[in-house]
Chains A and B, each alone.
Chain A
Amino acid sequence: MSPSIRNQIRELRTQREMTQQDLADRVGVTRQTIIAMEQDKYSPSLETAFKVALALGVTLEQCFQFEPRGKR
């Protein structure tokens, strides 16, 4: 079952012409973790979510949205 937290990491990242490795380096995770987040296969911890939003220069709510299970 995929996580119930959706994100706009890919869209925000490409708007800033940032590679996955660049974002991973800024956040302190592996590129594969960034890929998993973009594919909605992994929901990061709160700390990592804040780091991602900070690296992309947006608020947490602009980057991540919570959807109760059963809704997409």
Chain B
Amino acid sequence: MPSLSYREKTLYASLLAELIVYGPYFFFHQQNSVNKVAAMIVAIIVLQAVLQGLIAIFTRNRLVDERDRLIELRGYRVGYFTIATLMVVGLVLLWFHAAAGRLSIESHRMGLHFLNVFFGMLVIADIAKTAAQIVSYRRAL
């Protein structure tokens, strides 16, 4: 495997942390609660801090150059289009639910449901942003 720049290493670590924390949370979403949301947020912060800190300690050259910034901008573009698309899809589905006049969710769980939906959109967009950057590092710009 070719040597990775500092920025690439942080991207792989970020993607790994997201998959480790968010994967189980959304896979077992039927058992989620507000406390589990808080625990997930704390877990991702701690795991990211640990991984990024380790990478920073063991990487001598932490230079971020023009190519890194260009790839980062590409990633943000992919992330924006991803979350915009998900928002449109979500709004369309909500409109249909409103038009139909019923939602098959108990009212006391509706808040958690929408929290999971919007948080899920952010997570998917962030993973898309990170993945796009990782791919850009391997391909021609």
Contact = CB atoms under 8 A, between A and B. Distances in A.
Nearest to B141: A42
Closest 9 CB pairs of A and B: A41-B140, A29-B65, A32-B5, A2-B140, A33-B67, A30-B5, A42-B141, A30-B65, A30-B63
A36 B137 CA distance: 9
Give the one of A1, A2, A30 with max B CB within 10 A: A30
Interface string B49-66: 000000000000101011
B3 interface: yes
24 contacts: A1-B140, A2-B140, A3-B140, A28-B63, A28-B65, A29-B63, A29-B65, A29-B67, A30-B5, A30-B63, A30-B65, A31-B3, A31-B61, A32-B2, A32-B5, A33-B5, A33-B65, A33-B68, A35-B2, A36-B67, A40-B140, A41-B139, A42-B140, A44-B66
B4 interface: yes
Interface of B: 2-6, 8, 61, 63, 65-68, 137, 139-141
A35 B68 CA distance: 13
B137 to A, nearest CB: 8
Interface of A is mostly: loop
Contacts of B6: 30
Interface of A: 1-3, 28-33, 35-36, 40-45, 48
Nearest to A45: B66
Contacts of B8: 32
B47 to A, nearest CB: 25
